[in-house]
Structure 1
Amino acid sequence: MVKLAVGRRRAAVSALLALALGIGAMAPSVADDKSDLKDRKREVNGKIEDAQQSYDESSKAYAAAAKKLKAAQAVLDKAQARLSETRAQLAEAQRRDAEMQRKLEQTQARLEAAERSLEKSEKELAKAEVGIQQFAIETLQQGDPSLRAVSGLLQGKSTSEFSEQMSINSSIADAQAAELQRLDARKVMLQIERDAVEKLRDQVKKQREQAAANLVRMRELEADAEVQATKVAGLVGEREVARKAAAKIQAADAAKVAALEAERSRVQARLQAIVRQELAEARRRAAANKGGNGDSGDSSDSGSSSLMHPVSGPITSRYGMRLHPVTGIYKLHDGTDFGVGCGTPIRAAASGRIIEQYYNAGYGNRVIINHGVMRGKSVITTYNHLSAYRRSSGARVSRGDVIGYVGSTGYSTGCHLHFMVLVNGSTTNPMNWL
């Protein structure tokens, strides 16, 4: 579609360029006028620029459709970015979940090993305590070994036996003291193991809580991602609908632009034929009258060499380059806008004949009046965006006659009159003739 549009645009540019150059060759009485040649050059450039921009212009409907498409794309981009972010967060949560599970399993294994070791140590301690208790009971039952040794000595045992018994008693006491020390050490180590097990249990509990919280977050992200994915799919559909609508309107606009180009060429050709006829007639009259003004009742305004204001109102946009208020394109504003209300009567700027009266998508309802030769040049005026016509095409009008009423038809942002003056077939600043 883009290549086709470019090809049509180039064809339109070439056709308008050939038409503009041909026009320059068809006005022999004006060809020597340097000022008019400059005006014609600007007009040629303006036509070429208009042709180049014609496929970039669009109707209000396309502007709205394009805006809707842009808005749909922006919403889609935002939704896709959010979905990508959510999926990234979900992937991170899943990675953390796997890491937490691994650490939890490791800590759990260490806890189970510590608990087994603690259980074994507690059993060994209990066994040692039982041994100590049994020894104490036996000692109490048998009495003090030292006293028993002394009693034996008193009962007639030899001193060597006494010494041996005392030595045995000392060894037993030392062994018992050592066992008690080992028992105390086991108790200390057992407490250390108990503290380590408790710490591991706390660590496992904390890791489980963190894993559970991360799991909840992961479930939330999964739900969000599913909702967002559904939303993105819907937005893709909306964007596609908006794109198709914009493409359909753009295609219609392209056809409309092509029709406008054909219409413009037709009107331009007719205007140039009138210009050639008027100027040729003026030259013939001038030659016949030896310098007369060449007035021909049907094709010139003998009352004045200037035009009157078609309406009484402020100028809201002057002739020259500007940013178009509807299309947003910087281009030539080929007339003068008068800010007056809809329904305001529009008067003929000079006497003449209505040669065209029709609707144009850009200019809306328009009237074109041929005023004949003024100041030695063909002068034609056009009145655009009318709400209604007062006279018919082909009718002769006098200066000041009401020809229609102000409106806002065509490419217009509000009620106003777009007034144009064509000199020798080329647009010019109307203010130079008012």
Structure 2
Amino acid sequence: MTRLRKPLLAIALSVMLLAGLSAPTFGDEKDDVKREQRENKKKLDAARDEVQESTKAARDAKAALDRAESRLADAQTKLGRTRGRLAVAQAEDARLRAALQRAEAELAAAEAKLEKAERELKSSRGAVESFAVESVMAGDTGLKAFGDLLRGADPAQFSEQMSVSTSIGDAQIAVMQELAASEVMLEIERDKVEDLRDEVAAQKQKAEAIVVQMQALTAQAEQQAASVAQLVTARTGAKRTADKALAEDQRLLAQWEAERVALENQMAEIVRKELEAARKKRKKKGGGGGGGGGGTTGDSGGALSWPVNGPITSPYGMRRHPITGVYKLHDGTDFGVGCGTPIRAAAGGTIVSQYYNGAYGNRVILNNGVKRGVSVITTYNHLSRYAVSTGARVKRGQVIGYVGSTGYSTGCHLHFMVLANGRTTQPMNWL
């Protein structure tokens, strides 16, 4: 038998068991259930294991997908931040390179200007030095002209010589002033060149630091991009696995829904018989009404006892299923207790059936008879194992099974249900 057919067998056999409940009399119903379960126990156990494996695979695949998606989102966020920082660093690098080029151009121009000024200064100094030598060698021009005049030279020649001497003196003074000014400007140019050299050095240092930062950010971005690629691959694989498991579980869920309808029909038949038996009992005793007494299979208490002592982790009502993600009625009350915790009958009654269901896992259906004028049936789900046999009569508080996490379950807990006249109702109204 293929793995695909085994879950179908579990559902089919469960429906067969339920079909046995519609026998002509209630006693015959119990006998049919016992006989069917004895004949098919081995097959049910095998089918239960297969469905459990499928459910676990779905949970594991979903968890793997959730982890991959979380890590992928985080890695993509980090990669985005790194790429943003890298873009800023690249823009800063371009700006610094342009600034460095401008500074280097200004430095080159300043150095050329300084070199020209130094040549001009050297030339001016040479002219001044030559004038000084010539002046020493020639003596005082004015005294020489005056001597020539005393020796009988033409007075006009004396005036001309004095005028030339004055012009030369004025020219030399001008050269000397220009030399002094050139020396001042040369110092200014030298300071400017030094400042520009310092600026170029600083710009180079900044540019080198940005290059190092860009190299580090590039390596980081490449590493993160590789990590993202790996996570995308992992996410894709996890999604394929999850989709496959989810499709299988949704198929099983649809079959379970069909089984649930069949179960409700069978429960309705039990309810009809229970209420009819209670009516006949009251009529036989001469009573005409009342509704708080017991029925044909239960005890006389009008309320139910807590099946386990533990906190309520999920109440009765609409919710999103933690595994399938479907928004639907949570048809019972979940008690958060550890696996292996004894489960006690909420009231006396008869074990109608106990079998494995793809959604509820190992479950016990206990007919508690008529209470408050309605037929009450309690079910105990996700059990790890049973404590009594099908058809057994149990007392209120008697251990009927043990808490587990079978079926569609995310952890150890008891899913406790109350059916009033065959319909699910708020269990806390009965406890």
Q: Counterpart of 1:189 in structure 2: which amino acid?
A: M
Match of 2:161 in 1: 165
Q: Give the gaps of 5 or more residues in structure 2.
A: 1-53
Q: Counterpart of 1:196 in structure 2: which amino acid?
A: K
Give the drift of 1:278. 4.1
Equivalent of 2:296 in 289, 301, 308: 301
The 2-side partners of 1:346 and 1:371 are apart by 13
Q: Give SS of 1:365's match.
A: strand
Q: Counterpart of 2:85 in structure 1: which amino acid?
A: Q
Q: Give SS of 1:157's match.
A: coil
TM-score, structure 1 as length reference: 0.69
Please tell me whether the aligned partners of residues 386 and 404 of structure 1 are also in contact (alpha carbons under 8 angstroms): no
Equivalenced residue count is 369
Match of 1:20 in 2: none
Give the drift of 1:430. 6.0
Give the drift of 1:260. 1.9
Give the drift of 1:424. 2.3
Equivalent of 2:181 in 181, 185, 206: 185
Query: Taking structure 1 as reference, are residues 310 and 149 closer, same or farther at Cα in structure 2, changes over 3 Å only?
Result: closer
| 1:355 and 2:352 aligned | yes
The 2-side partners of 1:149 and 1:273 are apart by 156
What do the CA deviations read for 1:365-385 (whole angstroms, capped 9, x no partner)?
222244555666444343444
Q: Give SS of 2:379's match.
A: strand
Equivalent of 2:103 in 92, 104, 107: 107
Query: Taking structure 1 as reference, are residues 183 and 290 closer, same or farther at Cα in structure 2, changes over 3 Å only?
Result: closer
Q: Counterpart of 1:138 in structure 2: which amino acid?
A: E
What do the CA deviations read for 1:300-359 (whole angstroms, capped 9, x no partner)?
53885336867886464497448799669785553685969836474583354x332212
Query: Taking structure 1 as reference, are residues 325 and 148 closer, same or farther at Cα in structure 2, changes over 3 Å only?
Result: same
Please tell me whether the aligned partners of residues 307 and 397 of structure 2 are also in contact (alpha carbons under 8 angstroms): no
Please tell me whether the aligned partners of residues 299 and 349 of structure 2 are also in contact (alpha carbons under 8 angstroms): no
Q: Give SS of 1:358's match.
A: strand
What do the CA deviations read for 1:92-147 (whole angstroms, capped 9, x no partner)?
22223223323322332232233223222322222222222222222222222122
- When the two chains are superposed, the root-mean-square deviation of aligned CA atoms in Å is 4.1
Query: Taking structure 1 as reference, are residues 321 and 84 closer, same or farther at Cα in structure 2, changes over 3 Å only?
Result: closer
Q: Counterpart of 2:379 in structure 1: which amino acid?
A: T
Equivalent of 2:212 in 213, 216, 219: 216
Q: Counterpart of 1:119 in structure 2: which amino acid?
A: E
Equivalent of 1:276 in 268, 272, 275: 272
The 2-side partners of 1:117 and 1:363 are apart by 94
Q: Give the gaps of 5 or more residues in structure 1.
A: 1-57
More RCO (CA 8 Å, sep 6+): 2
Identical residues among aligned pairs (%): 41
TM-score, structure 2 as length reference: 0.70
Equivalent of 2:377 in 376, 380, 400: 380
Query: Taking structure 1 as reference, are residues 404 and 139 closer, same or farther at Cα in structure 2, changes over 3 Å only?
Result: same
The 2-side partners of 1:167 and 1:63 are apart by 117
Q: Give SS of 2:122's match.
A: helix
Please tell me whether the aligned partners of residues 314 and 340 of structure 1 are also in contact (alpha carbons under 8 angstroms): no
Match of 1:264 in 2: 260
Alignment of 1:11-410 (within 5 A): 62=58, 65-280=61-276, 289=284, 291=286, 300-301=295-296, 304-306=299-301, 314=309, 316-317=311-312, 320-321=316-317, 331-332=329-330, 334=332, 342=340, 344=342, 346=344, 349-352=347-350, 354-370=351-367, 377-393=374-390, 395-397=391-393, 399=395, 404-410=400-406
Query: Taking structure 1 as reference, are residues 220 and 398 closer, same or farther at Cα in structure 2, changes over 3 Å only?
Result: closer
The 1-side partners of 2:428 and 2:127 are apart by 127
Q: Give SS of 2:301's match.
A: coil
Give the drift of 1:185. 2.5
Please tell me whether the aligned partners of residues 404 and 413 of structure 2 are also in contact (alpha carbons under 8 angstroms): yes
Match of 1:22 in 2: none
Q: Give SS of 1:405's match.
A: strand
Query: Taking structure 1 as reference, are residues 369 and 146 closer, same or farther at Cα in structure 2, changes over 3 Å only?
Result: closer
Give the drift of 1:215. 1.9
What do the CA deviations read for 1:11-39 (whole angstroms, capped 9, x no partner)?
xxxxxxxxxxxxxxxxxxxxxxxxxxxxx
Give the drift of 1:220. 2.0
Match of 2:15 in 1: none
Give the drift of 1:211. 1.9
Q: Give SS of 1:121's match.
A: helix
The 2-side partners of 1:362 and 1:176 are apart by 116
Give the drift of 1:173. 1.9
The 1-side partners of 2:159 and 2:315 are apart by 140
Q: Counterpart of 1:171 in structure 2: which amino acid?
A: S
